[in-house]
Amino acid sequence: MHDVLIVGGGGAGLTASMLLSRLGVDHLLVSALPTTSVLPKAHVLNQRTMEIFADLGIAETVYRRATPPEQMRYSGWYAGLAGPTDDHGRRFGLVESWGCGGSSPDWAAASPQHQTNLPQIRLEPVLKERAEELAPGRVCFHRELTAFTQDTDGVTATVLNRDTGRSSHIRARYLLACDGGRTVGRRLGIRMEGARDLARIATVHLSADLSAWARDPEVLIRWLTLPHTGGGATMVPMGPDRWGPQSEEWVVHLNYATDDPRGLDDEQVIADLRAALGLADHPITVHLITRWSIEGVVADRFRDGRVFLLGDAAHRHPPTGGLGLNSAIQDAANLAWKLAAVLHGQAEERLLDTYEPERRPVTARNVQRSVENALNHIVTAQTAGISPDADPETNWRQTRRLWSGLPEDAEHARAVRRAIAGQSMEFDEHNIEYGYTYTSAAVIPDGTPEPGNPDPIRLYQPCARPGHPLPHAWLDDETGRRLSTHDLLRPGRFLLIAGEDGEDWCRAAAELAGAWPLDAVRVGHLDGDLLDPRSTWTRHRGHGPGGAVLVRPDRFIAWRAQEAADAPARLSQALRSILGAGTTS
């Protein structure tokens, strides 16, 4: 019997496999697909995801293959791409995006990792290679789950080897559904709730030299308003070796009405692509055309007995904001340490009950934000006044008002600039991406109020309140080596960070470390095992010199104490509340 069967080999499944390997959990991954994704789907990887990848030893590989930071500082709005006049391809809007290539002080202060961009077709092979390295022979593609049943002790699955045509039965204690909702959730009767078919998109993955028109090397995503058609398009570079205007490959998204048959015909889509970009006979090699509809849905439950839903099986997002793949990877990070603690006898089964109450509210908000981001693009286009019902001359006349400089056009240009600036709700939603919090039985409230936030979408405010992510702070060890608070955690282990006068906490942790997976360290500005040279940790910890915070293995604060009175009993009670009875193994 395996401890865990993972069904699906995308971002959620492969991340779950790597994390479980790192935690010493026996598992098997099966994917019906012959290989990793061939679709040019998600590409933005946020700071929280890159922290997980750093733990797994693949962050540097991802950064090396990804868009250079200086070429993803902005998102830009343009009047088409190419055409016969200087107005074709003219930029009329620019917004800083995802920490502005690492130059935003707030984003740099939040995490030792920076945001990056690597399309899923290039990311998943990196994940698969590392997963196979960590679990040789346990990552099996072209293996399709065809049936499963569960009982009080585990799950029995029937898996078809699509190479040989033979089926086998696999027994596991738990099943992780990372299959995009294609099989497991449906068979369990789990419903997806939310908005569907908001728009129809045809996505074209192509190779072409667009450097003559796609200027602005610091822009990642280009939002094209098309006066000559009255529509819009979105362009994203795909690399793989060069980025920005020199990118060898691109993805272009074209919008179609739900009842427009043109979007179903490949030749028509290519013709529409050329018309939209104004490329006429310019050489283009089309690799793939995919069609999909924008939806924002969340599963009505994330767990059914011994089955857990992760990633697209649990929530599906519009691509605006890049929250889908990141949410999937962060689902795996939330669940993996809990499974490991239960399977290793370090926690009671009830710890697994905290997965859904922690992840479902976060991903539901991410879905909502993704939908709102998509709708805001429609508002921006409407504000610009471009319409498919108007003739090209009228649309161009309306577009040129944005840069005419005429007094009568000033208010119109100001309204469009304001609408574009408002898209920071997508490209600067730092608190959505990084500042999300958890409430469950695996978090012990300390009675302090939630900190006030003047902009809960854009502003991440670090604090060590229970349920919040561990604040990043640079610390110095006795040799002067600098490391982050994030570097202090070991796989699958809790960390007690005590103040400079927290010797009692560290002694208590040492006494309890035989029963629970627990480490401890003192941190202070002038005294401690590690020093806080900038007083950053002191600013965020929320307790005095004798207090402490307990950090979960996934870097979320589980508990906080203001002083060290009765430290052994209080720390033991906190761990017992979160995990249950300890183990002596």
The pLDDT of 89-114, averaged and rounded, is 96
The pLDDT of 137-163, averaged and rounded, is 97
Whether residues 443 and 359 share a domain: the answer is: no
Whether residues 355 and 481 share a domain: the answer is: no
pLDDT digits (tens, 9 = 90+) for 374-403: 999 989 989 999 999 999 999 999 999 999
Whether residues 45 and 169 share a domain: the answer is: yes
Bond prior to 119 in cis (omega within 30° of 0): no
Coil/strand/helix, residue 220: strand
Phi, psi of 69 (to 5 degrees): -55, -40
d(CA 63, CA 54): 10
User: Closest Cα to residue 197, out of 374, 369, 361?
Assistant: 374
d(CA 380, CA 141): 43
- Strand ranges (E), 178-256: 192-195, 200-207, 219-226, 231-239, 249-256
CATH code for position 465: 3.40.30.120
Residue where a domain terminates, one of 348, 369, 390: 369
Whether residues 184 and 57 share a domain: the answer is: yes
State how many domains the chain has: 2
Whether residues 481 and 567 share a domain: the answer is: yes
230: in domain? no
Whether residues 352 and 467 share a domain: the answer is: no
Residue 427 has pLDDT above 80, yes or no: yes
The pLDDT of 521-527, averaged and rounded, is 97
**584 alpha carbon, distance to own chain's centre:** 36
State both tokens at 190.
């789990």
83: in domain? no
Cα–Cα distances in angstroms (integers) from residue 414 to residues 91, 102, 451, in the given order: 15, 29, 34
265: in domain? no
Query: What type of residue sits at position 222?
Result: R
The pLDDT of 501-519, averaged and rounded, is 96
CA atoms within 13 Å, Cβ hemisphere of 449 = 3
Res 581: pLDDT: 66
547: in domain? yes
Domain range for 451 is 437-579
Whether residues 42 and 180 share a domain: the answer is: yes
Whether residues 443 and 358 share a domain: the answer is: no
Contacts of 66 (CB under 8 A, 6+ apart): 45, 116, 117, 118
The answer to whether the beta carbons of residues 177 and 309 sit under 8 Å apart is yes
Whether residues 50 and 169 share a domain: the answer is: yes
User: Closest Cα to residue 57, out of 19, 9, 112?
Assistant: 19
Residue where a domain terminates, one of 341, 369, 397: 369
pLDDT digits (tens, 9 = 90+) for 232-286: 999 999 999 999 999 999 999 998 887 788 888 999 999 999 999 999 899 999 9
246: in domain? no
217: in domain? no
The answer to whether the beta carbons of residues 293 and 196 sit under 8 Å apart is yes
The answer to whether the beta carbons of residues 118 and 66 sit under 8 Å apart is yes
Residue where a domain terminates, one of 369, 387, 407: 369
User: Closest Cα to residue 61, out of 129, 6, 8, 4?
Assistant: 129
pLDDT digits (tens, 9 = 90+) for 307-332: 999 999 999 999 999 999 999 999 99
Q: What is the mean pLDDT of the chain?
A: 95
Res 39: pLDDT: 86
CATH code for position 351: 3.50.50.60
d(CA 480, CA 193): 52
* pTM (global) more than 0.95: yes
The pLDDT of 461-472, averaged and rounded, is 98
133: in domain? yes
State both tokens at 346.
């370090």
Strand partners, 469: 556
The pLDDT of 195-209, averaged and rounded, is 92
524: in domain? yes
Whether residues 455 and 340 share a domain: the answer is: no
Whether residues 31 and 167 share a domain: the answer is: yes
* Helix 47-55, helix 11-22: angle, nearest 10: 40
Query: What type of residue sits at position 164?
Result: T
The pLDDT of 186-214, averaged and rounded, is 94
Residue 8 has pLDDT above 70, yes or no: yes
Query: What type of residue sits at position 549?
Result: V
Whether residues 171 and 61 share a domain: the answer is: yes
CB atoms closer than 10 angstroms to residue 359: 26
Q: What is the DSSP letter of 469?
A: B
Phi, psi of 197 (to 5 degrees): 50, 45
Res 585: pLDDT: 39
